[in-house]
Amino acid sequence: MKKTFAKAFNNWKASKLRILELSKKSDTFGFTKFSDMSPAEFKKIYRPQTVSPRVLAKSCLATGVTTVMEKSPLGIPDSFDWRTKGVVTRVKDQGQCGSCWAFSTIANIESQWALKGNKLQEFSEQLIVDCSHGCSNEPPYGDVCNQGCGGGWQWNAYIDIEAWGGVETEDAYPYTAEDGNCQLNKKIIEAPIKNYTCLSAQDGGAKEDDMAAFLVQNGPIAIALDATPLQDYSGGILNPGTDGCMTTQLDHALVIVGYGVLSGTNFWIVKNSWGQDWGEAGYFRIIRGTGACGINNAVSSVIM
């Protein structure tokens, strides 16, 4: 026990030094519930899979889904937030399980289901963790697979969910934050999906103006990015020019629910799955228009 405390305290001291240095360049950093973890521990638990954008784009497109690059229509608002429209569920907490991909998948489905005129309903991430083990093979890169708490990707889950005919509710299949045996009950599934759309192209990320237009027209969108700076994020608008993230390695899946502008800085509003006691009540803002942290390199949404 003393050894565990000593390790956590040493990690906290290292975090303090790191945050002090980061704070010299940006005011978005501070102590978080992850400050007693080393960056390596944080990555192992919360960001277990790291894949290049090219692999992700090729994987997402592998099933023959047509890439949709929405043209930005004249007159889309300067700011937009689906949370104000009653189609975004509460921020959930994945716990110490690398299941961000399941939370991103389900959050996208929850919003799409509500946008179809149905009651806003919480669906089961645990079902996805336990039952979605699909892979997309992309030679010469190899397999991109769903591995429960070991990580995964949304489009592999979309394919499984389409085959199942939908998903179960959160109440019917509650979250445990650990790998379990699949208990899929097709008699009680809801929210069937027809297909999914990838916005990112193999030779480059989606244009963020197109992403904004797609979001306004179609609802929250699933994404992935490099989550390195999120361990120390406390609030404000992240800027990769000072916050130290990469566009070439993506390791965390989330959902964009809106966008805005503050003092001339365009930003995205992103829903995370680390609980409401992290970030800005479970959300964070990140600069929009620069491909920050690879945010535009693995963009997708289900079709209902």
**Domains (ranges, CATH) in the chain?**
2-303 (3.90.70.10)
Given pLDDT bands bounded at 50, 70 and 90, which one contains residue 285? very high
Q: Buried b / exposed e across 116-138, counting CB within 10 Å, b at 16+?
A: eeeeebebbbbbbbbbbebbbeb
Residue 141 pLDDT: 60
Q: Which residues contact 286 (CB under 8 A, 6 or more apart)?
A: 225, 237, 238, 239, 267, 268, 270, 292, 293, 295
The predicted pLDDT at position 240 comes to 80
Quick one: pLDDT at residue 2? 45
Q: What angle do CA 28, 209, 254 make, to 5 degrees?
A: 50
Give the span between the Cα atoms of 108 and 180, in whole angstroms. Answer: 23
252 catalytic? Reply is yes
Q: Say whether pLDDT at 45 is over 80.
A: yes
User: Comparing 32-36, 79-83, 190-194, 243-247, which segment has the lowest mean pLDDT?
Assistant: 243-247
Report the chain's mean pLDDT, rounded to a whole number.
88
Yes or no: say if 211 and 299 are a contact pair by the CB < 8 Å rule: yes
Q: Give helix 100-115 / helix 154-164 axis angle, nearest 10°.
A: 50
Mean pLDDT, rounded, for 118-146: 87
Of 11, 60, 97, 100, which is the active-site residue? 100
Mean per-residue pLDDT for 53-72? 59
Choose the catalytic residue: 11, 146, 272, 297: 272
For residue 61, pLDDT beyond 90: no
Q: What is the mean pLDDT of residues 88-115?
A: 97
List 11, 198, 245, 252, catalytic entry:
252
| Mean local confidence (pLDDT), 146-151 | 94
100 is catalytic: yes
Is the Cβ–Cβ distance between 171 and 127 less than 8 Å? no
Backbone phi, psi, residue 101, to 5°: -60, -35
Report the relative pairing of strands 237-238 and 283-287 from DSSP bridges: parallel
Rounded CA separation 3/15 (Å): 18
pLDDT reading at 160 higher than 80: yes
pLDDT tens figures, 109-129: 999 999 999 999 999 999 999
